[in-house]
Structure 1
């Protein structure tokens, strides 16, 4: 009883100090601030101010600045989604009374949501923290703007000081979280996985019998890979190409070589895996894209690893995901590359080494590919995310005979670790199972996806379903629905089957 009384006394004292600080700000008169701070708060509504800054930095800055802007935008999105799904509805605090706030400062349309925490403050500090953690100089430039936006929420009478402080802490936490996620996604697997050794693959001490197709449009690592190849495997044939020629060159190289090599990102590796499977030859992967999800999950850190495995004849067998149309009255146009490779297309079916998805991600990829040639990749990604999170609707499908409405259907080739609708990495590629994650339709996509991430891999979560299976039939796909696989984009047929080919592809990797 005494403890309860102490807690109530403490809360009452904290509330009194909160109100006193609020009233002190309301009584202060700063002539310049009465125009600047309310206008700054309005500019930050719905993240418009931060989106404009991110777009400008992405369009005009060097590579590191563009990366910092994208990291800041991701931090803002995480903070905003957390506030709107958890914060606002877990602490239902009323807005402050505006008796002491001058009319000229008050918002024309009072906010209708609860007061704790401040969403503007969370977004402002998340953006500034995400930017500063990647580019301290730009973070120092933006930080005063973030502080001013946060203070404007008290100055205009829409938040208590504690609301703003909590929002600021949440925003900084979002920036740190995004940084850790990015760091984790970039680390190659350091221990062997569950892949079986591939018997009978040739050892090529000088590279004779190996043809490496280098995608000239992928990433920035092509020159470094070529230098290593000339030094370690001087007898290997190297073919440099890109664009529409890529698939034909891969098929021709696989047909005439003992081993097919490829240098590019995940889309390029997907196309090479398809060519190697059809020709029945082993695959050698030289990571050369922007993200290199397959190479990192496979344990390849660079071209030296692949060269050592080729010279010593060391390889393992990996499982391959497959999508097969079951009702194809007409062929669907071929897949569109995500900047670094060609795709199979939904009408003919194809393979995926990493992931397959319907819903939010394919729509985001579709918009980004459409806008990137006009405004650049970074601004296109931001604009696509804004469009998808505001305007898209869940896709309706029939999964294993049951109608479903989904914001996202994610299928991974092998078990991905980590909670959420799109977990980040695998410890092995020989499992032979599909890791299926379904974010159920309902509400808005941003809050729903965050709720699914917080729910974790729970098979009975109201927001998120996670199961492991070998085969999934998907039917009643609406005409024109896009899907994505290994960073490629295509239009879906009316129905298809997802399954896994266990131990289907030998890939070189040192022991």
Structure 2
């Protein structure tokens, strides 16, 4: 404190006063959040994770730490009068709430966007030092607050897992033809997918100039459209390609699996879950893999649907579900266009469960009542509320999760367990990795959702994992 007080007067004195006041009640960080959240991607995720961290750090510092550790603030004569804040705080000095919020925000942002954190580091450091410079905190208050903030920032991963940084693993290399400029390739491009400011047609033409490029026909199912092209080509098509979002990719992947053709994909949707898991991040990745003939075999999920209209079959590359799950997926995908996955999933879950009706079912031979059913193609992680990514694409297993409706207050207990990240210990939530699942409805017919799309009605569903059912180009 004495060393800081001995610094000669300068314009920095006023600047640090203004900065310190701007951080009161986290106002500075809320403003930064609004600025960063205006951009999509990692910057937006960083902003929202930072805001969550500030909320937790501020609560712990001001409502828990200060009452537990009462401490006098530095005397007014410790620093020159021109440095002091006009309105000096009267709460306990230990720990520094401003430092806790600054450190929490910076730590949370760094986990999502290191470059953004690097730009914010001088601001966060100046906020923490300003509390010493203005004589409102002891250095040990600032150090304790910063340590608390770092801990809270890191703890956000407990509820909000970080996105996977590496593609899912598969031990199954697959044979696939080398596709020079896309010759003998049939590529479906969906111009309506993803960002309307970016045209996926240009990517497809650049990567595969010799490919036959088609577009979704209004009123015609993509599967039917591609199957017709393949039949008319009379064996001349050696690979399929797709540029679009997850729904489009899932439809083309099902045709590729049915006809035993390798698949190349350009991620051109809003979220691109499947492409991210596979490890194809851009057009360049897809182009390089097809030019080298590098491919792997991955599992697909299969559903056999029995209903009044007969038996139907569907492939799925990501997820399938029954009950409230299809509605929750639709709502989450809509919210997730503007917000990160974990908050989007939480909001969608609460809204869906509030309106859901229980399903009376026989699940693998056992009668039970459920609110919703999730089935993932492969084993997802984490095993809590938001299945974020697949560590492997060749497990031969389905990730089955459901919420029981036969226990008192099951929805409220589920939400509480989700908020406290204790779903694995909850009696209302069930998760298992299974090679297959048979479910029969006891109260009418329902539609199954596959990869975010609503499928046919049925009252009996058999889910299976089909190992290495799809060959996909990947380095």
In structure 1, the partner of 2:380 is 416
Query: Cα 1:451–1:322, aligned 2, differ >3 Å: closer, same or farther?
Result: same
Which of 244, 250, 265 aligns to 1:270? It is 250
Query: Cα 1:222–1:172, aligned 2, differ >3 Å: closer, same or farther?
Result: farther
The Cα of 1:229 is off from its aligned counterpart by 1.5
In structure 2, the partner of 1:227 is 206
In structure 1, the partner of 2:267 is 288
Which of 154, 163, 167 aligns to 2:148? It is 167
In structure 2, the partner of 1:212 is 187
Q: CA separation in 1, counterparts of 2:465 and 2:438?
A: 13
- 1:471 matches 2:437: yes
Q: How many residues align?
A: 413
- CA deviations on 1:447-482 (whole Å, 9 max, x unpaired) are 625524xx7xx6x66586431221142758999x99
What TM-score results when the alignment is normalised by the length of structure 1? 0.58
In structure 1, the partner of 2:4 is none
Contact 2:440 2:460 (C-alpha < 8 Å) held by counterparts: yes
Query: Cα 1:317–1:380, aligned 2, differ >3 Å: closer, same or farther?
Result: closer
Contact 2:100 2:148 (C-alpha < 8 Å) held by counterparts: yes
Q: CA separation in 2, counterparts of 1:306 and 1:77?
A: 42
Query: Cα 1:41–1:93, aligned 2, differ >3 Å: closer, same or farther?
Result: closer
Q: CA separation in 2, counterparts of 1:391 and 1:55?
A: 25
Q: CA separation in 2, counterparts of 1:325 and 1:148?
A: 67
In structure 1, the partner of 2:331 is 366
The Cα of 1:315 is off from its aligned counterpart by 7.1
Which of 216, 225, 243 aligns to 1:252? It is 225
What does 1:397-416 align with in structure 2 at a 5 Å threshold? 397-398=358-359, 400=363, 401-404=367-370, 410-416=374-380
What TM-score results when the alignment is normalised by the length of structure 2? 0.61
The Cα of 1:136 is off from its aligned counterpart by 4.3
In structure 2, the partner of 1:13 is none
Q: CA separation in 1, counterparts of 2:325 and 2:104?
A: 22
In structure 2, the partner of 1:429 is 394
The Cα of 1:255 is off from its aligned counterpart by 1.7
Root-mean-square deviation over aligned CA pairs: 5.9
Which of 13, 37, 46 aligns to 1:71? It is 46
Q: CA separation in 2, counterparts of 1:304 and 1:297?
A: 18
- CA deviations on 1:311-347 (whole Å, 9 max, x unpaired) are xxx774733243747589xxxxxxxxxxxxxxxxxxx
In structure 1, the partner of 2:338 is 378
Query: Cα 1:384–1:215, aligned 2, differ >3 Å: closer, same or farther?
Result: same
SS of alignment partner, residue 37 of structure 2: helix
Q: Any stretches of 5+ residues in structure 2 without a counterpart?
A: 1-12, 77-86, 231-236, 404-409
The Cα of 1:413 is off from its aligned counterpart by 0.9
Q: CA separation in 2, counterparts of 1:322 and 1:218?
A: 27
Q: CA separation in 2, counterparts of 1:206 and 1:33?
A: 60
What does 1:311-460 align with in structure 2 at a 5 Å threshold? 316=297, 318-322=299-303, 324=305, 350-356=314-320, 363=328, 366=331, 369=334, 377-378=337-338, 384=344, 387-388=347-348, 393=353, 397-398=358-359, 400=363, 401-404=367-370, 410-416=374-380, 419-421=383-385, 422-429=387-394, 431=396, 433-438=397-402, 441-442=411-412, 445=415, 448=418, 451-452=421-422
Q: Any stretches of 5+ residues in structure 1 without a counterpart?
A: 1-29, 329-347
- CA deviations on 1:61-114 (whole Å, 9 max, x unpaired) are 5x6xx5312233235547868999xx99xx99964559989998579xx9xxxx
Query: Cα 1:415–1:36, aligned 2, differ >3 Å: closer, same or farther?
Result: closer
The Cα of 1:212 is off from its aligned counterpart by 0.6
Q: CA separation in 1, counterparts of 2:32 and 2:456?
A: 36
SS of alignment partner, residue 416 of structure 1: coil
The Cα of 1:494 is off from its aligned counterpart by 9.0
Contact 2:320 2:375 (C-alpha < 8 Å) held by counterparts: yes
Q: CA separation in 2, counterparts of 1:67 and 1:256?
A: 39
In structure 1, the partner of 2:293 is 309
- CA deviations on 1:221-248 (whole Å, 9 max, x unpaired) are 6544432322xxx3x2123x46x74964
In structure 2, the partner of 1:15 is none
Contact 1:215 1:246 (C-alpha < 8 Å) held by counterparts: no
Query: Cα 1:382–1:192, aligned 2, differ >3 Å: closer, same or farther?
Result: closer
SS of alignment partner, residue 282 of structure 1: coil
